[in-house]
Every structure is written in structure tokens, then in C-alpha cells.
A and B are shown apart, each in its own frame.
Chain A
């Protein structure tokens, strides 16, 4: 019995799930140390974050809403990563998706389900092209996707800002586009919420009513579905097999007859499309328009963190996305509550990623701890 326990513990701690959890724990530890050094009480800060996430159902709802785009951009980066590509361009692909969704949502007039489908579909296609472009430049010209996608991020940002100034699309002087049609929105019960019956319901039902006050939408459901789709494609299909082979060893894949260049482009198409979907769902479910941006919003970059922490898998992206969303949302509250800078969350995230990248260090720490425990 003892032997089994030992083996299980060793497998868990050495497996990637164990290492990820330990990295997360270490991230929290470092965050606590930094807060302490800066003169704040880390336990108080962590309590504020915890309360900020769980104490009201409204908060939980916000966490889910906030996590939705992060999960999907995480899937985007994870997908590319499995083919051995670093898609730092999820940010730009997200923006392209958002532009398309806002435009299709505003300019077209279609019945609900069709409108949403068209808007999301166009967003995915446009963003897929944006990603596929980087994939093509890599396959054909050997330009590293890290650089090309970063450049394309900037082009997308300025394109978005330009589009907002167009008279037909943007309300002049406000820096925002006109809102999308109601038939393009994916919010739940948005009309009923403001009706008399709805207001009455909200008043009388504490928990559910609280949730209804937030812009709940079906984006989260789509995020889960996309995660399942990504898992299925990568593990169950011949396409996924090809992409994984190329990701692990492009030389062997090529020698085996797989078209490596085509695989790279296809991977970036999927990856771009996913990031575009994230942007689309955000527009259709939360913002309902796009606005002039001084800087990139960061969903794409955060998706990189989500993917890395989630070990580049579908399920991992969901959990890491929720974790990330919770931390960012809850973390924003410590600024007001105790003047502790919310960026401690960024430091924690950076630390977690760093430890996730160094399995050797964690194994070293574990063996040292084990040795101490034995003595």
C-alpha cells in the first residue's frame, strides 16, 4: 500500500499537472513576499481577492464573463503551440475578429441566429487569414512567427483605430462605433431583464437576481465547446496527428510524407480563427461595439499566459482561463480596498509562467524538501 502511494505521489508531482500546480503555488508565494516587502499584508490582500471573486454571485458571473475571451485566446495559442508555433499574434487576430463582428453586427440586418452565425463566421474567417498570413510567411520565407505576428498585432491595432473613424461606422467624436443590432447580440435574457417582470424577479431573488445584473451571455458555453473541439481535433483526427508530429519533430514528419509547410499554415489558420472568435464573442456579448484604443487590451497576450499555464491543452485552457480571469478580476479590487497595486497579479502570473518553464528547478526543490523530510 505504501509503495503504491509513493509511486502515485511521484507520478503526480513529476507529471505536468503536479508541476503546474506547484508553479501556481510558488507564484502565490512570491506575490505574498512582494506584498509583504511593499508593506502590505498579503493575507489581507488574498482575502480581498477571494472575497472579490466568490462573495457575491454577481462576482462569480463577472469572473466567467471575464474569463471567456481568455479561455478562447488560450485555446488559440495552445493550438499553435502544439504544432511548434508561437502565436504571439493572438492579440491582433482578436482585434480583427472584433472589427468584423462589430461591422457585421451593425451593418447587416438578419434574424437572430443567422445574424450571430454570420457575424462570428466572418470574424473567424478574417482572423484566420490574419493568422494564416503569418503562417504562410514562415512556411514560405522562413520568417519567425514571433516577429511577424507581433508586427501584425500593431497593424491590426491601427487598422481598428482607423476603422473607428470612418463616418459610416463610427459615431464621430466619440471614438466608438455604432452599437451592433440587437439581433446580433448573444446576451441572455437582456430584454426580459429590463421588463417589469424581470425587474421584479431581480428584486425578489437575491442570488439569481445578482447574476442577472451582469452582462451574462452564451460566450462561455461557446468557450467550452471550442475547448472540446480543440481537444477532439488534436487528439482524435488525422489533422491533429499531423500537426502534433510537426510540432514535435518536423524533420521526421517531413520524411514520413507530411507536408510540413501546409501544416504550419493550417495551424495558424485555426489558431487565428480561434482568437478571432474570442474577439467576436466579446463584442457580441459584452461591448457591442469597438472603440479607439490607446494600447492593446491584452486578451491575446494574456491568452499566451493561459495557454502556458494550462500546458497547451483544451481542458488546461479552460481551467487556466478561469484562474486567470478570477485573479485579474479579484486582483483589481485590492487597489481600491487597500491601495495595493493590482499589478502584483501580473508579477504572480509572470512568476508562474517562469516556474512552469523550469521543471528542473521544481524537481530540484522537491528533492531537497524530500531529503529534509527524511532526515
Chain B
């Protein structure tokens, strides 16, 4: 009995760990798409953030500094995407593809420069701390490897992610700026005639999404693993995008979707550890097949923000 509870604890804990980077990035997706800008460059932003986070954390010995810088790195790519899409009316999906190339190119380029030609960083001496262990000492509050320990003794980034979901929800639905973001995404012309700067709001939204995606990348490289490598992100940015659609462009929905995918990963690792007789490659397919099935069941009934992907052009006035 105790073994089963421990196993459940393990799965929950792993789920939380893998969902966290997805949640950060997915929240970024929600923000930008709510403002009417498609951002499939989340992958590149996450990649670049993972690199920046690991590198800064390695050289400065401060994981938190790395974490914040990762966000700034992502925001930088967000700025490029915003300039292309908002100011120069670029085709948004194409710009997103460019961002992916830029993000990975820039990340690997700098990696080689900073780490002696390697496409991965060296191990970070100090990872993001685990608040429970930090505050109370190892194994003092919860029994080590017990259910409570497995579930709650997680990296600080995990707690931060869920906190951020609440923050984004509040800002989007209860504040002035959130209402303006929604308006710009649904009917930018209306917002414009009321004196709201559509350009400024979209710039802000896209750069914020870059910041969040960067955080998501760092949540992988400074917390989950403790280094950056060129296969670390591998598509998680796109899964976050799928989670956003699945979550109907709502922060709480995106969070639940990310938990679902994290859960699939958690189950996959658990079964692998237990020697489940299904080959690891087939298990690895699970989250992706699951995504497709879920989207098929859900998407037809959801509607994205009305003005999404549509170019808003004020030139010629």
C-alpha cells in the first residue's frame, strides 16, 4: 500500500517537474495570441532562454540571475518577432519560423564561444533551490522519498509557475491592461478608434511572451537537468503551443493542458523505471499521440481571439 502511494507521489512529482517549463511557455503563448499575434517562435525563444539561463548560472554561480537573464534573452527574440509582425506586417507564422532558426542558431553559436566549441554547457554548480529543503533542511519536514516529499519538495520554479498562472489570469481578466489586450486581440480597429495603441500593446504582449518562454527554457536547463544541450528543448515549445490551443487560450486551461502532457511524460518515465515491457520509443510517442487525439476532440469547438494572425496596419494615415 505504501509502495503504491509512493509510486503515485513519484508520478505526481515528475509530472509537476515536466509541466513547469511547459506552463511558463504556454502562458507566454496565451498572452501573445490573446493580443492577436501568432507566435510559433516559442520554441526558439525557449531554446535561447535555456542556453542563456544555463550559461549565466554557470558563470555567475547564481541560478536566479540565470533565470532572469533567460527571460530577458527570450524577450529579445520577442522584440524581433514584434518588430517584424507588428511594425512591418510580416506573415506571422513565417516570422515565427525565422525566430526558431535564430533562437537555435544564436544559442548554439554563443555556446560554442563560451564553452570551447561545445554545443552544450558545463554542469551548473548551483541549480534552482528546492524551497522545502532549503527552509527546513533535508528530510526534516517530510520524510525523504515519502509521498509528501516527492510531491512538494520540488524546485522553486514549480511553485513560481503556478503562481504565475494566477497572476496572468488576474491581470488578463481583472485589470485595465488585461482588458485592453483582449480588445486588441478581438477587434484592434475598435481599440484603435478609442485611442488605444494597438502597436504598443502587441509589442508588450509579444515581448512578455518571449520573456515567459525564456523562463520556460531556463526551467529546463537550470532546474530539471542542470545544463543546456542542443537536444534539451526539442519540441517542447510546440507542445506548449498545443497546450494553449487545448486550453482555449485561457491561462487556467493552458495550465491544465500542460499538466496533462507532463503527466504523460511522468507515466512514461515511471513505466520505464519499473521495467514495463513496452519499448521506450513507443512509450515516448504517448504525449504526442495524446495531443492529437485531444485536439481532434476539442478544437472544432473552440475559437481563438477573433483578430488573430490578421495584420493590423495603420500606415498611410
Which A residues are within 8 Å of any B CB, using their own CB? 34, 38, 86, 137, 141-144, 146-148, 150-155, 158-159, 161-162, 165, 294-295, 304-305, 308, 335, 339, 341, 343-351, 353-354, 356-358, 360-361
Contact = CB atoms under 8 A, between A and B. Distances in A.
B112 interface: yes
Nearest to B116: A339
B295 A356 contact: no
A158 B281 contact: yes
Contacts of B279: 162, 165
Contacts of B289: 151, 155
B40 interface: yes
Contacts, number: 140
A150 B235 contact: yes
Given A343-B108, A347-B105, A354 B296 contact: no
B98 to A, nearest CB: 4
Contacts of B101: 305, 346-347, 349-350, 353
Interface in B69-119: 80, 84, 88-91, 93-95, 97-106, 108-113, 117
A141 B300 contact: yes
B288 interface: yes
A354 B281 contact: no
A21 B99 CA distance: 20
B255 to A, nearest CB: 18
A242 B289 CA distance: 32
Given A34-B109, A147-B245, A354-B98, A137 B91 contact: no
B108 A350 contact: no
Contacts of B238: 147, 150-151
B108 A357 contact: no
Going nearest first, the 9 A-B pairs with the smallest beta carbon separation are A346-B105, A350-B101, A350-B102, A341-B112, A347-B105, A354-B98, A162-B281, A353-B98, A357-B94
B292 interface: yes
B105 A143 contact: no
Nearest to A163: B281
A90 to B, nearest CB: 12
B231 A151 contact: no
Nearest to A361: B88
B299 interface: yes
Interface of B: 40, 80, 84, 88-91, 93-95, 97-106, 108-113, 117, 230-231, 234-235, 238, 241-242, 245, 279, 281-282, 284-285, 288-289, 291-292, 295-296, 299-300
A350 B245 contact: no
8 contacts: A38-B109, A158-B284, A159-B281, A341-B109, A343-B104, A343-B109, A346-B108, A358-B88
Contacts of A137: 292, 295-296
Nearest to B291: A151
Contacts of A294: 231
Nearest to B292: A151
A344 B109 contact: yes
A357 B113 CA distance: 29
A349 B106 CA distance: 11
B281 A357 contact: no
Given A148-B295, A154-B285, A341-B117, 8 more contacts: A159-B285, A335-B112, A343-B109, A347-B102, A350-B100, A350-B102, A351-B102, A354-B80
Given A142-B300, A343-B112, A346-B108, A155 B285 contact: yes
Contacts of B88: 358, 360-361
A28 to B, nearest CB: 14
A33 B96 CA distance: 23
Contacts of B109: 34, 38, 341, 343-344, 346-347
A357 B288 contact: no
Residue among B101, B102, B112, B245 with max Cβ neighbours from chain A (10 Å):
B101
A137 B111 CA distance: 39
A158 B108 contact: no
A344 B113 contact: no
A165 B91 CA distance: 42
Contacts of B113: 38, 341
A147 B295 contact: yes
Contacts of A143: 292, 295-296, 299
B288 A154 contact: yes
Contacts of B299: 141-144
A154 B239 CA distance: 11
Contact of B245 (A86, A144, A154, A344): A144
Nearest to A352: B98
Contact of B84 (A86, A343, A357): A357
Contacts of B91: 357
A344 B105 contact: yes
Contacts of B99: 350, 354
B283 to A, nearest CB: 9
B46 to A, nearest CB: 14
A295 B234 contact: yes
A309 to B, nearest CB: 11
A301 B91 CA distance: 18
Contact of A158 (B90, B95, B285): B285
A34 B110 CA distance: 11
Given A154-B285, A356-B94, A349 B105 contact: yes
A147 B105 contact: no
Nearest to A164: B281
A333 to B, nearest CB: 14
B285 A146 contact: no
